[in-house]
Amino acid sequence: MPFVNEYVPPVESEPSEFFREARVRLKIGASDRNVWTIDRENDMVLVRQGGGHTIDSHNEDYWSFIDRKGYYYWTTYLLSQREISQDEVAITRSIAFQVGRGLSNPDAATTARIKEALCEYKDYGVASDYKRGLLILIDAVTGKEI
């Protein structure tokens, strides 16, 4: 099953123990403000935790991802965004993973799934006007495309 953007359901409506536990770890509840990008078949969830609030950091976003292998956290910086068509957006972001303090370092397969989730998230998750997203991720350390 592919990733989909959805509002976080009330705890009592969530059938999966994995996702109930993920909600606790990610500190999210059910409200109109809380959304996630989720692959229910493979037990994976992406959450945008926040973004920069100053002029210098307004293109920064902070993310968490949980799967059966670990808990991942990273920062992205929006390098470019352009509309390809009325239905599609192209986005380039640099990405810097954090490790330590209970955070995992993603392997190549997990990094690929994170990229899939970010591509589905597009620009605003459930609030996006676009049906498709094209995403280029640049490793902030190496400068190479992921």
Q: What is the pLDDT of residues 79-105, one digit of tens each?
A: 999 999 999 999 999 999 999 888 999
Say whether pLDDT at 31 is over 90.
no
Say whether pLDDT at 135 is over 90.
yes
Closest residue by Cα to residue 83 from 136, 132, 125: 132
SS3 of 38-64: the string is EECCCCEEEEEEEECCCCCCCCEEEEE
Q: Which residue has the tokens 């292998």?
A: 69
Distance CA 26, CA 89 (A): 27
Q: Do the Cβ atoms of 60 and 23 come closer than 8 Å?
A: no
Distance CA 80, CA 58 (A): 13
Paired residues of 46 in beta bridges: 37, 65
Mean pLDDT of 14-29: 90
> What is the DSSP pairing of strand 60-67 with strand 88-98?
unpaired
- What pLDDT score does 32 carry? 57
pLDDT band at 55 (very low <50, low <70, confident <90, very high): confident
Percent of the chain with pLDDT over 90: 71
Say whether pLDDT at 16 is over 90.
yes
Distance CA 10, CA 94 (A): 33
- What pLDDT score does 93 carry? 96
Closest residue by Cα to residue 95 from 146, 38, 36: 146
